[in-house]
Amino acid sequence: MLKLQQDHPVGIPNGVDAHPPEEPSHPDGSSSSQRPLATPRLREGLGFRPTSGISTPQYSSRAAAKANSPLPDANGLGWPAKSTHLRLNATAEERADREKKLSSAVRTILECLGEDPDREGLLKTPERYAKALLWMTRGYEERLADIINDAVFEEDHDEMVIVRDIDISSLCEHHLVPFTGKIAIAYIPNKLVLGLSKLARIAEVFSRRLQVQERLTKQVALAVQEAINPRGVAVVMEATHMCMTMRGVQKPGAITVTSCMLGCFRTQQKTREEFLTLIKGR
Which residues are identified as catalytic?
Answer: 172-175, 213, 241, 243
CA distance 74 to 61: 11
For the packed helices 92-112 and 125-136, what is the interaxial angle rounded to 10 degrees?
120
Give the E-state strand segments of 120-177 in sequence order.
152-154, 161-172
Give the E-state strand segments of 19-177 in sequence order.
152-154, 161-172
171: helix, coil or strand?
strand
If you ran DSSP here, which 8-state letter would residue 212 be given?
Answer: -
- Convert 203-228 to b/e letters by CB count within 10 Å (16 or more is b): bbbbbbbbbbbebbbbbbbbbbbbbb
CA distance 196 to 146: 15
If you ran DSSP here, which 8-state letter would residue 28 be given?
Answer: T
Q: For residue 213, give the nearest of 187, 246, 235 by alpha carbon.
A: 235
Q: For residue 2, give the nearest of 203, 183, 219 by alpha carbon.
A: 219
Contact 157, 191 (CB under 8 A): no
